[in-house]
Amino acid sequence: MKKIILLLMILATPLFAVLPDEILDDPVLEERAREISKQLRCLVCRSENIDESNSGFARDLRLMLRERLVAGDTDEQVIDFFVDRFGEYVLLKPRFSGTNIFLWVSGPLFLLFGGGYAIAFVRGKTRETQVEALTDDEQKRLNALLGD
């Protein structure tokens, strides 16, 4: 056992995201806490959310988040709380506001333009069919000419 304690001292960094002592007794509240913490960035890690991160910083944020929920905040209030303190950098899902609107609408816009272009392309291809196909009249004349 002594050896293990020694080893644990070497393993100074805790390698565990959500710790058992953090979990709230109320399962509904805890579920909300988990959902929110998946949307908040661990600011000292590289693109990890605080739910997955092992860092002490993320743990502090998780505890803070649960305190807010226990105090009766709504999900939006909790998220606002973090944005007020850490800036919008903390949000993994950027808000639909300001310049970020471009980010959110970029997909639909691409689809609109690309789709318009694709439809024009395909219709161009079918129109060529119509141009090239002979009408019945023309066909009769052609047959007549060839028949001669």
Partner 1 sequence: MIAEIGHAALIIAFAIAIVQAIVPMIGAQKGWSNWMYLAVPAAIIQFILVLISFSALTYAFVVSDFSLQLVAANSHSDKPMLYKITGVWANHEGSLLLWNLILVLFGAMVAMFGKNLPPALKARVLSVQAMIGIAFLAFLLFTSNPFIRLPNPPFNGTGLNPLLQDPGLAFHPPFLYLGYVGLSMAFSFAIAALIEGRVDAAWARWVRPWTLMAWMFLTLGIALGSWWAYYELGWGGWWFWDPVENSSFMPWLLATALLHSAIVVEKRNTLKAWTVLLAILAFSFSLIGTFLVRSGVLTSVHAFANDPQRGMFVLGILAVAIGGGLTLYAMRASTLKSNAVFSSLSRESGLVLNNLLLSVSAAVVFVGTMWPLLTELVLDRKISVGAPFFDAAFTPFMVVIAMVLPIGSILSWKRAKIRKSMQPLWGMMALSVALGAFVWSQNTGGRMLAPIGITLAAWVVLGAMAELGSRAKIFKVTARETLRRLRNLPRSDWGKAVAHSGFGLLIFGISAITAWEVEDIRSVEMGTPYYVDGYEFTLNSVGEFEGPNYVAIRGEITVVKNGETFNLYPEKRNFNVEGTPTTEAAINSTLARDVYIVLGDPQSDGRWAVRTYIKPFVAWIWIGIIVTSFGGLISLTDRRYRVAAPSKKVTRVAAVPAE
Residues interacting with partner 1, by CB under 8 A?
3-4, 7-8, 10-11, 13-21, 23, 38-39, 41, 46-49, 52, 54, 87-94, 99-100, 103-104, 106-107, 110-111, 114-115, 118, 121-123, 125-126, 128-129, 132
Closer to partner 1 by CB, 107 or 147: give it.
107
Closer to partner 1 by CB, 4 or 145: give it.
4
Contact 41, 48 (CB under 8 A): yes
**Residue 75 burial class via C-beta count within 10 angstroms: exposed 0-12, middle 13-18, buried 19 and up:** middle
Closer to partner 1 by CB, 29 or 92: give it.
92
Closer to partner 1 by CB, 132 or 148: give it.
132
Phi first, then psi, for residue 40 (nearest 5°) are: -110, 135
Q: In angstroms, give the least distance from the CB of 81 to partner 1.
A: 17
Q: Which of 78, 27, 71 is nearest to 50 (CA)?
A: 78
Q: How far apart are the first and last CA of the chain?
A: 108
